[in-house]
Amino acid sequence: MEKLINDFSFGLFFWQTLLFLLLLFLLKKYAWKPILNAIKDREDGIKNALESAKEARKEMQNLTADNERILKEARTQREEILKEARSMKANMIEETKEEVKMIREDLMAKTKEEIANEKQAAIADLKNQVADLSIDIAEKIVKGQLDAKDKQVKLIESMLKDVKLN
């Protein structure tokens, strides 16, 4: 430290102080303002980014609420559509049952009518066959016994009694 005090020169100190002050002045004029402006711009950018983030968060909350509302509406509509579909299904089943019942009743009526017609036709055919048989029997009896008329009538009546009609 003593060496520094012994070698001290006022001229050198003056010029070093002057250069230091000049450097400080130049730095203040040309370097500090741009650096401070850059720092201020950076600070403003960060503030704007934080405000944008807050706005985005609020918007996301609004969108989330809207999405939940839309989902609730969609669920409600889905339930209504399913309820309507079930109702339509039940109505269609009921209508189909009624149609089947009507068709079955018509078919039963037609079948009964056909059975009655077939029965009448069978009875008529049977009567014709009985009449033909009676005539054949009468012919045979007449050929065999032309003079025994009482026997012929009794024989025809007993044969007709043997043939039963429904």
Q: pLDDT grade, residue 144 (50/70/90)?
A: low
Q: What is the 3-state secondary structure (H, E, C) of 29-84?
A: HHHHHHHHHHHHHHHHHHHHHHHHHHHHHHHHHHHHHHHHHHHHHHHHHHHHHHHH
The answer as to whether 21 is a domain residue is: no
Q: What is the pLDDT of residues 48-68, one digit of tens each?
A: 999 999 999 999 999 999 999
The answer as to whether 127 is a domain residue is: yes
The answer as to whether 15 is a domain residue is: no
Residue 78: give the domain boundaries.
35-162
Compute the C-alpha angle 134/138/142, nearest 5°. Answer: 175
- Tell me the C-alpha distance between 31 and 27, whole Å: 5
Phi, psi of 147 (to 5 degrees): -100, -20
The answer as to whether 129 is a domain residue is: yes
Other beta carbons less than 10 A from residue 160's beta carbon: 14
The answer as to whether 13 is a domain residue is: no
Token digits of residue 16: 């070093």
In Å, how far from its chain's centre is CA 159?
76
DSSP annotation of 145 reads -
The answer as to whether 50 is a domain residue is: yes
Number of structural domains (the chain) is: 1
**Across 48-62, 74-88, 133-147, least confident range:** 133-147
Does 114 score more than 90 pLDDT? yes
Could you tell me the CA-to-CA distances from 47 to 40, 52, 110 in Å, in that order?
10, 9, 92
The answer as to whether 94 is a domain residue is: yes
Query: The pTM is what?
Result: 0.41
